[in-house]
Amino acid sequence: MNILLAAALKVVGVLVFVMANAFMLIWLERKVSGYIQRRYGPLRVGGPAGIYQSAADILKLLAKEDFMPGGADRWLWLLAPVVSMVPAVLVYLVLPIGRTFTLQDLGVGLVFFSSVTSFTLLAIFMAGWGSNNKYSLLGAMRAGAQLFSYEVPLILSTIGVVLIAGSLRLQTIVAAQTQHGWFFFEQIVGFIVFFIASIAELNRTPFDLAEGESEIIAGYHTEYSGMRWAMFMLAEYSNLFTSSALGVALFFGGWHGPWLPGWVWFLLKTYIVVFVGMWIRWTLPRIRIDQLLDLGWKFLLPVSVANILGTALVLMVR
Amino acid sequence: MGLFDRVWNAAKSMAVGHAITIREMFHRPVTVRYPEEKPPFERGSRSVPVLKVNEATGLLNCVACGLCERSCPPSCIEIVQAVDAAGKKKPWPETFELDLSHCMVCNLCIEACPFDALEMADVVELSSYQVQDLIFSKDQLTELWKTSKALRVAGGERI
């Protein structure tokens, strides 16, 4: 009974956090974009600096009609948003939030993380195929090519860290950084590859070809409205948080930091990385699909392999 | 250009771009939160023509010559000259109506006026749900003049 209760509490906690986090990040994204473009961003809805804008958005989306396009593949179309939420929620399982606070500290945490996030592709393809819309399908195919080709450098770039720490368990990797120093300094090449690839995995500008609104309307969520569309957005912002959190755990020492408790450091660092992602989003223009694949296969992949080789050689000599 | 030059150029241009955006982020926003803060009217901008009153006599400067009425492209000014009991014309308007729903704020009436009787007021918040509320009478235009500052005066920019 206690196990069930603990599991239920964890699930509820994660879901509440996903909602609150998306609430915050959507507001933050609007504010960051506003101030970068020398506007104020949301102000009118109320709360400090217009923070209730997200609440108004959620109310609006709840009130919207749930419209299914004619000729849509019913079950694929209905399930795609739910499937996109599943990996977004599952990856919270292994995040090393505090020194002793992980929901389930798996021995293969890193592998679990990268394999679960691959499921996002399935949801995108379900949405693209099920919508019976050429723009959705084009967006899904672009997303497929993109996620497939950036998954490889993303995983390879983390191997350098794994070699130094000698473990796939995220808590052990973070603990190794408390003695060894943050891996960011030694694995800067790995971090750059990881960061570029994780932005591409999240389908965010400059790699948001899958939803390039000037070409294919909104890509795979063209035909979604109301809460189903909101679930895609929720998953997207949750993924933004979790992939930044993974970056923090691997390269910036996770919960390691003076004075403050561990989880505060963890959240602080994660939100700084999220901010950098937003900063990039509102600076760089979208790149073409051939440039995207060139960058993935011809640049990031060799660089990450070279990084692994270099790290392994240095470790062997030492 | 070799691979390393291209990578270097890409990295450099990205660094420059991000420096620009982060710098802009800490500047003051250029947008104005309109109902709470209002931007100043630029000198010489155009809004609503209003009727001036001679401060010495308390009468209108307007002599009902009708030049503004004739110069008005959308014909939104209507002037009826005052007439006394004997049928003699008097040099002031009996009615002076300005239909703001037609007015295109072209400033031609003010340029045409030889008597310094019209000027542009710094008033813009005159919108209404009723179109007849937008027809301004002589008294209303005088009231507007009393509560506003001039942006342009008759015969060119002499402010």
**pLDDT number for residue A100:** 76
Report yes or no on A9 lying in a domain: no
**What is the nearest CA distance from B15 to chain A, expressed in angstroms?**
10
Tens of pLDDT along B14-33? Answer: 899 999 999 888 888 888 88
Joined tokens for residue A113: 């993380």
Per-residue pLDDT averaged across A89-106, rounded? 82
Highest mean pLDDT: which of A41-50, A96-105, A266-275? A266-275
- Give the per-residue pLDDT at B157: 53
Query: In the β-sheet with B89-99, what is the strand arrangement from edge to edge?
Result: B77-83, B89-99, B135-136
Whether the complex's predicted ipTM is more than 0.90 is answered with no
At A265, list the tokens. 């450091």
CA distance, residue B8 to nearest chain A CA (Å): 13
- The contact set of B with A (CB < 8 A) is 7, 14, 17-18, 20-22, 24-31, 33
Cβ of B42: how many Cβ atoms within 10 Å? 9
Cis peptide before A206 (omega within 30 of 0): yes
CA separation for the pair A94, A242 (Å, rounded):
10
What tens digit of pLDDT does each residue of A279-290 get? Answer: 998 898 888 888
Q: Hey, are the CB atoms on A36 and B25 less than 8 Å from each other?
A: yes
Average pLDDT for chain A: 86
Which residues of chain B does A38 touch, with a Cβ-Cβ cutoff of 8 Å?
A: 24, 27-31
B29/A38 CB distance under 8 A: yes
Average pLDDT over residues A34-60: 85
CA dist., res. A121 & res. B120, Å (int): 62
Tokens 């509440």 locate to A16
Residue A49 lies in a domain: no
Cβ-contact A316, A233 below 8 angstroms: no
CA A264 to chain centre: 20
- State pLDDT tens for residues B94-141: 888 988 888 888 888 888 888 888 888 888 888 889 888 889 888 888
B5, B25, B39, B126 from B34: Cα distances, Å: 49, 21, 8, 15
Q: Residue A148: pLDDT band by 50, 70, 90 thresholds? A: confident
Residues 6+ apart with CB under 8 A from A262: A97, A98, A99, A101, A254, A255, A256
B146 forms beta bridges with none
Position B155 scores a pLDDT of 56
pLDDT (0 to 100) of residue A101 = 76
Q: What share of chain A has pLDDT > 90, as a percent? A: 8
CA dihedral over A219, A224, A226, A227, signed as positive or negative: negative
**Mean pLDDT value across residues A209-230:** 81
Tell whether A285 lies on the interface with B, counting CB pairs under 8 A: no
Q: Tell me whether residue A259 is in a domain.
A: yes
pLDDT above 60: residue B158: no
Q: Do B18 and A279 touch (CB under 8 A)?
A: yes
Q: Give, in order, the Cα–Cα distances in Å from A198 to each of A90, A154, A234, A249, A294.
A: 17, 7, 17, 14, 16
- Tell me if A247 is assigned to some domain: yes
Question: Token digits for A25?
Answer: 């990040």
Residue A220 falls inside a structural domain: yes
| Residues in contact with B123: Cβ distance below 8 Å, sequence separation at least 6, in sequence order | B47, B48, B50, B144, B147, B148
Angle between helices A74-90 and A226-251 (to 10 degrees): 30
Smallest CA–CA separation between A283 and chain B, in Å? Answer: 6
CA A14 to chain centre: 15
The answer for A 39-78 residues in CB contact with B (under 8 A) is 39-40, 43
The predicted structure's pLDDT at residue B154: 60
> Is residue A57 in a domain?
no
Question: In total, how many domains does chain A have?
Answer: 1
Note whether B31 contacts A40, CB cutoff 8 Å. Answer: yes
- C-alpha span between A168 and A105 (Å, rounded): 11
A284 part of a folded domain: yes
Best residue of B12, B13, B20, B24 to probe chain A, by most A CBs closer than 10 Å: B24
| Residue A32 and residue A278 in contact, taking contact as beta carbons nearer than 8 Å | yes
Report helix angle A134-165 to A188-201, nearest 10.
160
Query: What does the pLDDT look like over B29-83, one tens digit per residue?
Result: 888 888 888 888 877 778 888 888 887 887 888 888 888 889 889 999 998 888 8
Residue at A56 is within a domain: no
pLDDT at A313: 92
Distances (CA, A) of A143 to A88, A208, A212, A235, A239: 17, 9, 11, 15, 15
The pLDDT value recorded for residue B19 is 92
Q: What's the pLDDT score for residue A272? A: 92
* 3-class state of residue A36 by DSSP: helix
For residue A73, how many C-alpha atoms fall within 13 Å in the half-sphere facing its CB?
Answer: 14
* Average pLDDT, rounded, for chain B: 84
Q: Which residues of B touch A32 (CB under 8 A)?
A: 25
- Give me the helix-helix angle, A2-36 and A262-281, nearest 10°: 40
The answer to whether the CB atoms of A40 and B33 lie below 8 A apart is yes
Give the separation between CA B144 and CA B137, rounded to whole angstroms: 11
Select from A28, A33, A37 the residue whose CB has the most chain B CBs within 10 Å, as the one to mutate to test that interface.
A37
- pLDDT at A147 (0 to 100): 86
Smallest Cα distance from A38 to chain B, Å: 4
Q: pLDDT grade, residue A275 (50/70/90)?
A: very high
Residue that the structure tokens 């420059």 belong to: B16
In sequence order, the 6+-apart residues with CB closer than 8 A to the CB of B37 are none
Which chain A residues touch B7 with a CB distance below 8 Å?
Answer: 299
pLDDT in tens, A164-180: 888 888 888 888 888 88
Determine, for residues A279 and B14 on separate chains, whether the beta-carbon distance falls below 8 Å.
no
**Across the interface, do A36 and B30 touch by the CB < 8 Å criterion?**
no
The residue range of the domain holding A91 is: 69-317
Contact check, Cβ <8 Å, B29/A32? no
Judge whether residue B159 has pLDDT over 60: no
**Model confidence, pTM:** 0.80
d(C-alpha A200, C-alpha A117), whole Å: 13
Q: Is A34 close to B22, i.e. CB distance below 8 A?
A: no
Q: Measure A275 CA to nearest chain B CA, in Å.
A: 11
What is the 3 state secondary structure string of chain B? CCHHHHHHHHHHHHHHHHHHHHHHHCCCCCCCCCCCCCCCCCCCCCCEEEECECCCCCCECCCCCCHHHHHCCCCCEEEEEEECCCCCEEEEEEEEEEECCCCCCCCHHHHHCCCCCEEEECCCCCCCCCHHHHEECHHHHHHHHHCCCEEEECCECCC
